[in-house]
Structure 1
Amino acid sequence: MNTAILEKYNVPVPRYTSYPPANYFTDSFTSADYESAIDGSNTACPDHISFYLHMPFCRSLCHYCGCNAYAMQKPDAVENYIRAVHAEIDLVIKRLDPKRKIAQIHYGGGTPTALPARYLRELNAHLLSAFECIERPEIAIECHPGYADEVYWEELTAAGFNRFSLGIQDFDENVLKAVNRKPALLPVQEIIHFLKAHGAKVNMDFIYGLPYQTADSFANTISRAVALEPDRLVTFSYAHVPGIYKRQLMLEKAGLPLSTEKSRMYTEACAVLASARYKSIGMDHFVKPDDELYEALVNGKLHRNFQGYCTRRTTGQVYAFGVTGISQLSDAYCQNTKSIPEYIERTGKGELPVSKGYKLSREEQITREVIETLMCNYSIDWRSLSERLVLPVRELQQTIGYDETQMRQFEEDGLIEYNQHKLKITTDGRLFVRNVAASMDLLMRSTDKVFSKPV
């Protein structure tokens, strides 16, 4: 990419995994507000249910991590936490319409696989006993392969999981050592073979922009990955925000690659994946041509929620459990407390452990739909979106502060192609889709929030 364009647009902008981003949530949002939002969600769209469970414990903390993670605690403390999660589940599901169906269950962290598998099995059973599921629901778990042996993988498949995201990050052990991450305990090829033999889908997750990585070394890592034929492969851009996550300062001692080199990591990884016939989805996902995510992208119907990219078939309103879990309902977000002791105490009292949240205005719901459509599908058909929102195109664009001058600048810089009916991100512009989205976000016109750079 042209260096001048790279420098021009490599500025802090939201990731837009939600709209508004989580740093807009306020502590004026209460447990009563969340209860009201849950009640209202039963008659809103989407109708399906997605459950997210946050397991915050890690056996060791990776220096790059921007997740809400905590060092592993003693067995009795972990058991108290799991008991509190069950209590929170009971508080929420009693407010949900029992005729609704589960489309997704997703475990994140932290490191869910740092816990004994029996806890995960019991939590799945709790949720699945309360509701029916859609056909082919996705029951997914994020896995650190550094500590899981053959018996543990067997226990996870027996617990009902049918999608596994393996957090490989890099095959280069010098990189893993620099970021304080343990490599896989078993050969990754054996893990994938075992999981696929049990009928599961396998994702492989990688991070680029870490110490000791180069465009050539990361391309080699991705080449090794595609040879293992995962169903999906994810290349996350490392977000360096040490002002928020102090442990990231450790990476500065080892040295971080320049943004130009990081950009090359992305483009060369994309080339490797394209040659292996993987299709690009959104900002960072790559899937096989027969994946339903790619079919949704081709049809302009790709969607995402806090669980990640999904189709309209599998998407649901998200009800989150555990510390820092974020629920994503039709007109509200709600985040739980970050304190494990407070979480256990409040759920023990029969209280939803809300810390903060956000109630979306009608205008913000419209903006969310516009930005989500662009981020997922790399395009917006204004007439189609107008029909879905039951809003004239002109009024729709006025609501989001659509700026013709800005669009013309994006087009001149090669980021988009557009006319009065459609806006499309170019192949070169995909790296900066966040910048284009931010131009249609009125909250960005005057904000003091901190965001990461695209590259």
Structure 2
Amino acid sequence: MKQELLDKYSIAVPRYTSYPPANFFTDSFAVNDYRTAIEESNTQQPQHISFYIHIPFCYKMCHYCGCNAMLLENKTVVASYMDALKREIEMVLPLLDHSRKISQIHYGGGSPTSQPVAMLKEINKMLLEGFETIDRPEIAIECHPGYLDEAYWNDLIDAGFNRISLGIQDFNEDVLKASNRKPSRMPVSEIVSLLKSKGVAVNMDFIYGLPLQTAESFADTIRQAIEIHPDRLVTFSYAHVPWVNPAMMNLEKIGLPTPQDKNKIYETAKHLLNESGYKTVGLDHFVQPDDELYIAQKTKALHRNFQGYCTRRTTGQVYAFGVTGISQLTAAYSQNTKDLKTYIEQVNKGELPVLKGYRLNNDEQITREVITSLMCNYEIVWTDLASLLNVSVEEIKNALNYNENNLKAFAEDGIIEFNANYIKILPDATPFVRNIAASLDKLMMNTDKRFSKVG
């Protein structure tokens, strides 16, 4: 990509981890709306169940974090929160059809591993004892390796986790120090070896675009990762949104890479990973050639939900528990309160802690499928989508901001090729997939919402 195109398309658009994006949610969506949406979801597609557990506590606050997290300070508050979390689960599970199957359980945060493994094991048992699972469900947890010893890793395996994501971010300790991030307590190679020996799949997560990172320094980090050989390696683009987390201003004071340097960091990492045999999946995942995600992408069947990239086999409607958790149902989103005290009080009164949400109309459900196809598979084949949705191609295009003049401009810039049958993003232009998605999104035609920039 020429530099002028990188500059031209480095604009603020949604990340499209959901559609509509979470900043379109409204507080007019209330508890009764969520209850109704849960009950309706039992007869909607996908039929599988995906549970998300949010544990917000951290030993230390990383400056780059955009998650809802807080310091692990008051043990009494933490215990109250974990009790409330279990009560919320007990309120929602009776609303679900227990003939449905669990395909995913995912723990995020914060740092879920700030809690004793016995607590995590108890929650897993609560979720699993009332439902069957699909073949090879994904029971996953995000881990901060800075505080965990060998006994803790073994206990996670015993608790039933079969995929573990290691939040490495960077092997360069100067970068970690600038980001207020503690490096791994154990050598990462030893952790990965231990987990793999017990049959656990391992992700290693990195962030690019942080202070002090260069293409050369990040290449060293990626080479170390390749040597360790995780099953999946993820390179997340740092999103600078200081209006979400003011601590991000600390990174700005040190100095963030320019968009051009950030792109070079990513492209260098991508080249090294591809050269070593990893296959690129979506915007930021690199996997082994026999990985289910890569096989799905080759057949244009890659999918994603709030748990990340998945396949049609493993995807499910997402039921989220904990402060700020977002449930992602077929026709609605519901987000829990962001305030810890309010969350505990509401749940202890027997109330679902709904803060806001969104009910999708028919056009928005169609748009979500279009954008998901584009973001996952870099392609839209109109007849295939029409068959999946059981509507006409004309109905799909009418649901969108479908404008051939806009598409021609992208095509002239070498970003897409298109005709009446399809839109395909060209191989070197995949970093601009968010720009294409936004151009098709009616909600982006007149909006004052704030988003991070592409790149």
Q: Do they superpose with TM above 0.5? A: yes
Alignment pair present for 1:175 and 2:166 = no
Alignment pair present for 1:267 and 2:258 = no
Alignment pair present for 1:407 and 2:407 = yes
Could you list the per-position Cα deviations for residues 230-278 of structure 1 after superposition, in whole angstroms to 9, with x for gaps in the alignment? 1101000000111221010000111111110001011111100110111
Q: Secondary structure at the match of 2:160?
A: coil
Aligned to 2:422: 422
User: Which segment drifts farther, 65-74 or 433-442?
Assistant: 65-74
Aligned to 2:37: 37
Runs of at least 4 residues off by over 2 Å:
73-76
Q: Secondary structure at the match of 1:315?
A: coil
Aligned to 1:72: 72
Aligned to 1:232: 232
Could you list the per-position Cα deviations for residues 371-429 of structure 1 after superposition, in whole angstroms to 9, with x for gaps in the alignment? 01100011111111111112221221121021111111111111112121111111221
Could you list the per-position Cα deviations for residues 307-357 of structure 1 after superposition, in whole angstroms to 9, with x for gaps in the alignment? 000001100000000000000001000000011111111111111000000
Identity %: 59
RMSD: 0.8
**What is the CA–CA distance in structure 1 between the aligned matches of 2:398 and 2:75, rounded to whole Å?**
55
Aligned to 2:90: 90
User: Which segment drifts farther, 393-402 or 445-454?
Assistant: 393-402
Structure 1: which 5+ runs fail to align?
A: none
**What is the CA–CA distance in structure 2 between the aligned matches of 1:270 and 1:427, rounded to whole Å?**
13
Q: Secondary structure at the match of 1:133?
A: strand
Q: TM-score, normalised by structure 1?
A: 0.99
Q: Secondary structure at the match of 1:176?
A: helix
Cα drift, residue 79 of structure 1: 1.4
Structure 2: which 5+ runs fail to align?
A: none
Could you list the per-position Cα deviations for residues 131-177 of structure 1 after superposition, in whole angstroms to 9, with x for gaps in the alignment? 11111100000000000001111111111100000000000000000
Q: Specify the code of the residue in structure 2 equivalent to 1:180.
A: N
**What is the CA–CA distance in structure 2 between the aligned matches of 1:174 and 1:251, rounded to whole Å?**
13
Q: Secondary structure at the match of 2:414?
A: coil
User: Which segment drifts farther, 135-144 or 215-224?
Assistant: 215-224
Q: Secondary structure at the match of 2:247?
A: helix
Q: Specify the code of the residue in structure 2 equivalent to 1:13.
A: V
Cα drift, residue 294 of structure 1: 0.6
Aligned to 1:161: 161
Aligned to 2:437: 437
**What is the CA–CA distance in structure 2 between the aligned matches of 1:157 and 1:9, rounded to whole Å?**
44
Q: Specify the code of the residue in structure 1 equivalent to 2:450.
A: V
Aligned to 1:338: 338
User: Which segment drifts farther, 70-79 or 48-57?
Assistant: 70-79
Cα drift, residue 5 of structure 1: 0.3
Q: Secondary structure at the match of 2:167?
A: strand
Cα drift, residue 115 of structure 1: 1.1
Aligned to 1:8: 8
**What is the CA–CA distance in structure 2 between the aligned matches of 1:355 and 1:139, rounded to whole Å?**
27
**What is the CA–CA distance in structure 2 between the aligned matches of 1:310 and 1:353, rounded to whole Å?**
28
Q: TM-score, normalised by structure 2?
A: 0.99
Cα drift, residue 194 of structure 1: 0.4
Aligned to 1:297: 297
Q: Specify the code of the residue in structure 1 equivalent to 2:40.
A: G
Correspondences of 1:203-218 after superposition (within 5 Å): 203-218=203-218
Aligned to 1:325: 325
**What is the CA–CA distance in structure 2 between the aligned matches of 1:156 and 1:74, rounded to whole Å?**
24
Aligned to 2:219: 219
Cα drift, residue 75 of structure 1: 2.2
Aligned to 2:143: 143
Q: Secondary structure at the match of 1:134?
A: strand
Aligned to 2:100: 100
**What is the CA–CA distance in structure 2 between the aligned matches of 1:75 and 1:154, rounded to whole Å?**
24
Alignment pair present for 1:306 and 2:269 = no
Aligned to 1:248: 248
Q: Secondary structure at the match of 1:146?
A: helix
Q: Secondary structure at the match of 1:363?
A: helix
Alignment pair present for 1:187 and 2:187 = yes
Alignment pair present for 1:365 and 2:365 = yes
